[in-house]
Structures are given as C-alpha cells and as structure tokens.
Amino acid sequence: MKILVVGGAGYIGSHMVKHLGLAGCAVTTLDNLSGGHADAVLHGTFVQGDIADRALLDRLLAEGRFDAVMHFASFIQVGESVVAPAKYYQNNVVNTLNLLDAMVAAGVKRFIFSSTAAIFGEPQSDTIDEQHRQQPINPYGRTKLMVEQALADYDRAYGLKSVCLRYFNAAGADPAGELGERHDPETHLIPLVLQAASGRRSHISVFGRDYDTPDGTCIRDYVHINDLCQAHWLALQSLMGGAGSQAYNLGNGSGFSVQEVIDTARQVTGREIPVVYAERRAGDPARLVADSRAATSQLGWKPQFAALETLIEHAWAWEQKRAVQL
Ligand SMILES: NC(=O)c1ccc[n+]([C@@H]2O[C@H](COP(=O)([O-])OP(=O)(O)OC[C@H]3O[C@@H](n4cnc5c(N)ncnc54)[C@H](O)[C@@H]3O)[C@@H](O)[C@H]2O)c1
Ligand SMILES: O=c1ccn([C@@H]2O[C@H](COP(=O)(O)OP(=O)(O)O[C@H]3O[C@H](CO)[C@H](O)[C@H](O)[C@H]3O)[C@@H](O)[C@H]2O)c(=O)[nH]1
C-alpha cells in the first residue's frame, strides 16, 4: 500500500510512519517541520513542505498515487488556540480543506484524520462515547469538529471516505526506544513529569487540586501511542475493505488523576519528582474518559499497552535517552 502521512515528523505521526514502514507499506511523509523533526522519520520518503502549498500537494498526489492519506498535521495547544485562534483556524481548518480539495482533484478517496476528545467539551457522562454531545469549549476543539463536519459533506458530495479518530490523551513512546515525544514547548503532563524526574526540570506543577474528583486533581484517559497506531492501521484496513466513513473515540476507558500519574511515575523511575501545587489551568474539564467500545467491536481494536505503568516505562526510557543527549 502507498500511504501519504501528513505531519509524519511529529510525535504521533512519526510512530505511525514506523508502524507503516514495518508493515511493508510505501510511505511518504509530508511535514513543514513547524513542530516535528526530520530525524524522527525512520521510513520511506520525507518531503519538507506545507499543506498550504496546493501546487506541491497536486504534484505529490499525482506522482504518489496513494491508496490513502493520514493527516496528523495541525497546531495542538489548547491554551494557545484561545489567544491565537486565527493561527488555529488557518492551519487546522483552511489548510486541511486545501489538502482535502487536492485529494478530491487527484481522486484519492481514503482519509484518516487525527481528531480529539476536545470536540466534546464538558462531559455529560462518566465515559464519552460517539453519541456524546459535541460542544467544544475552545478554538482547538472547534477546528477539529469543523473538519469532521466538512468530512461528512465531502463524503456525500465527492465520495471521500474518512475515519476520524478522536484520541483522548496520547502518551508513551516507541517500545523499541527509537521514538518519543519531543514537543517544544512541551505542555503534556507525562513528559513534563518525567523531565522533572530526570532533572531536566526542577518540578512538576499540578494545575488545580480542588476539582470534583477523589483526590481533587484532573482525571484523564492516557492511551499508548502504539495502540493509536494500531487503530489507524485497522481503520486503514476497514477503508481498504470498502467500509463507509466512521468516527471512533480512542482511549482505554480508565481514568487516572494527575496525582496518580505522578505517584506511578515515582514508582517507575524510583525518583523523587518535586511537585508544586498551582492554580487550575483554564479550560480543563475535571474528567475525560473514553468509551471505546465502538472501535473494539467495529474495528477489532484492542489496546496492547493499557497499563499506565507500561506507558510511563516507555516514556521514561525515552526521557532518559533524551536527557543524556541534551
Ligand atoms: N498529542 C495528543 O495527546 C493528541 C490528542 C488528540 C489529538 N491529537 C492530534 O494528533 C495530531 C498529531 O499530534 P502530535 O502530538 O503528534 O503533534 P505534533 O506537533 O508532534 O505533530 C504535528 C506535525 O504536523 C506538522 N505540521 C503542522 N502544520 C503543518 C502544515 N501546515 N504543513 C505540514 N506539516 C505541518 C508539524 O511540523 C508536526 O511535525 C494533531 O492533529 C493533534 O491535534 C493529539
Ligand atoms: O504541567 C502540567 C501539565 C498538565 N497538567 C494537567 O494534566 C492533565 C493532562 O494535561 P495535558 O496537557 O497532558 O493533556 P490535555 O488533557 O490538556 O490535552 C490532551 O487532550 C486534549 C483533548 O481534551 C487535546 O486533544 C490535546 O491536544 C491533548 O494533548 C490536565 O488535567 C492538566 O491540567 C498539570 O497538572 N501540569
């Protein structure tokens, strides 16, 4: 199979490129390196470029004759999207439509989209399934929902088949230790906790401990990056088999509080991990946990690395490697 991975030099995309490469696919990565790293692309062909560049897309799609496109390229910081929404609407919506239009023109009919739990907004139930109300509370979530809505229209009008995969909290690292999370600035909890463990940071700030949760800190559903790659692979098989457009929520179905993540990281690393209790971060729901039964029953998705300890072990191996390199 020939796959174009857009945003394949980033955290999740680079793991996907490796996954596809090992599965024997011919992979082309397109990434403008605004947030990614060229040396994270371990397989196939790397093209440095922007999805805003329609001429480049037309050329790539004509030459590549891809079976499918996987789209990871977007801006990803919820907080930044509140203060700089134009940047988010431009890249996550306008540039994505540019990519979809180029696909329609080139006759590429299969698309897998990185969506997010943030399309749902404040949860109305303990776990969030695909029927949950979609009411995002920040521009980042709105940009992703807009693309999901556009995809439904593009299917009806142009026959473009898509699978929207709504990740909850992507975390962990390549179990073989070749890849991991390298955001700059890093805003995600687990890599920051582990940077505090390795000494690259003085402490981890806990954003709020007065939430309506058992220990007062926010609860999230952390899902291993390789399990997300597996879900993409299954979604690709389903599209290749002629399935219609779908959307799936991806998490393990169990939530861990910020405090539990820190405590588990202390056990895994054997390090102290200094904590500073800070104010709540704006826009954080108390609890976000996925109901992923649809992905299990329809795609056959079964996470292999569901244990928080395993996920943190893999991220810790990566952080130790990084701490030595830097
Ligand atoms: N990390 C998470 O927990 C999480 C959760 C839910 C959804 N997502 C989504 O998954 C996707 C990947 O997230 P990530 O954590 O790997 O982010 P990332 O920033 O590591 O990767 C995104 C990649 O896209 C590239 N890119 C951005 N704009 C581009 C453009 N216009 N043209 C070409 N390349 C461009 C960046 O250089 C980067 O390499 C994003 O769409 C994100 O919204 C991530
Ligand atoms: O230094 C930190 C960083 C985070 N947190 C807390 O840890 C939890 C997880 O925060 P992350 O920033 O790691 O992840 P989010 O849940 O905010 O965001 C993730 O899920 C979102 C969906 O809601 C988006 O998709 C986003 O891209 C994705 O990273 C939150 O309660 C946050 O307040 C801290 O206490 N201290």
Query: Which of 175, 171, 147, 145 shows the shortest CA–CA distance to 160?
Result: 147
Kindly provide the ipTM of the predicted complex, given to two decimals.
Answer: 0.97
Q: What's the pLDDT score for residue 325?
A: 80
Going by alpha carbons, the residue nearest to atom 30 of ligand 1 is 50
**What is the number of the ligand closest to the CA of 189?**
2
H-only helix segments in the chain: 11-22, 54-64, 78-83, 85-88, 95-106, 139-158, 189-198, 225-240, 258-269, 293-294, 308-325
Give the pLDDT score at 283. 83
Q: What angle do CA 287, 142, 86 make, to 5 degrees?
A: 125
Nearest-10 Cα torsion for 56, 36, 112, 99: -20
Ligand 1 site, residue 221, Cβ cutoff 6 A? no
Cβ(9)–Cβ(36) below 8 Å: yes
Domains of the chain: 2-171+222-250 (3.40.50.720), 189-220+253-325 (3.90.25.10)
Overall residue count recorded for the chain in this entry: 326
Dist. CA 204 → ligand 1 center (Å): 24
Instruction: Give CA separation, 300 vs 23, 30, 121, 204, in Å.
Output: 18, 29, 27, 37
Please work out whether the CB of residue 77 comes within 6 Å of at least one atom of ligand 1.
no
**Ligand 1 pocket residue status of 12, Cβ below 6 Å:** yes
- Inform me whether the pLDDT recorded for 303 exceeds 90: yes
pLDDT attached to residue 119: 97
Distance 50 CA to ligand 1 centre (A): 13
Q: Is 181 in the pocket of ligand 1 (CB under 6 A)?
A: no
Distance CA 50, CA 34 (A): 9
Nearest CA to ligand 1 atom 1: 170
Looking at the CA of 144, name the nearest ligand. Answer: 1
Tokens (6 digits) for 34: 């605004």
Count Cβ atoms below 10 Å from residue 274 Cβ, excluding itself. Answer: 11
Note the pLDDT of residue 114. Answer: 98
Please work out whether the CB of residue 145 comes within 6 Å of at least one atom of ligand 1.
Answer: no
| pLDDT grade for 282, boundaries at 50, 70 and 90 | confident
Cα 74 to ligand 1 centre (Å): 5
| Cβ atoms 233, 112 nearer than 8 A | no
Q: Is the CB of 187 under 6 A from ligand 1?
A: no
Is the CB of 13 within 6 Å of ligand 1?
Answer: yes
- Tens-place pLDDT, residues 42-66: 999 999 999 999 999 999 999 999 9
Where does the pLDDT of residue 289 fall: very low under 50, low under 70, confident under 90, or very high at 90 and above?
Answer: very high
Nearest Cα residue to 204 out of 253, 161, 264:
264
Ligand 1 and 32: CB distance under 6 A: yes
Closest C-alpha to 290, from 133, 138, 130: 130
pLDDT for position 326: 75
Catalytic residues: 140
Phi, psi (deg, nearest 5) at residue 103: -65, -45
For the CA of 144, the nearest atom of ligand 1? 43
Q: Which pLDDT tens digit goes with each residue over 20-38?
A: 999 999 999 999 999 999 9
Q: In this structure, are strands 204-207 and 275-278 parallel, antiparallel, or unpaired? A: parallel
With a 6 A CB cut-off, is 91 part of the ligand 1 pocket?
A: yes
Amino acid at 289: V
Protein residue whose Cα sits closest to atom 26 of ligand 1 = 73
Average pLDDT value over all residues in the chain: 97
Q: How far apart are CA 282 and CA 161, in angstroms?
A: 36
pLDDT tens-digit readout, 63-80: 999 999 999 999 999 989
- pLDDT, residue 184, reads 92
Q: Which-ligand-closest: CA of 8? A: 1
CA 237, CA 13: separation in Å to the nearest integer?
18
The pair of structure tokens assigned to 256 is 């861990």
Task: Give the binding-site residues of ligand 2, using a 6 Å CB cut-off.
Answer: 76, 78, 116-118, 169, 187-189, 192, 204-207, 218, 220, 258, 281, 284, 288
Counting beta carbons within 10 angstroms of the beta carbon of residue 85, is it exposed (0 to 12), middle (13 to 18) or buried (19 or more)? middle
* Distance from residue 73's CA to the centre of ligand 2 (Å): 19
Question: Of the ligands numbered here, which is closest to the C-alpha atom of 40?
Answer: 1
- Output the residue whose Cα is nearest ligand 2's atom 12: 188
Helix, strand, coil percent content, the chain, rounded in steps of 5: 45, 20, 40
Band (324; pLDDT cuts 50, 70, 90)? confident
Residue nearest to atom 21 of ligand 2 (CA): 118
- Span 111-168, pLDDT tens digits: 999 999 999 999 999 999 999 999 999 999 999 999 999 999 999 999 999 999 999 9
pLDDT (tens digit per residue) in 175-225: 999 999 999 999 999 999 999 999 999 999 999 999 999 999 999 999 999
Nearest of 219, 222, 210 to residue 309 by alpha carbon? 222
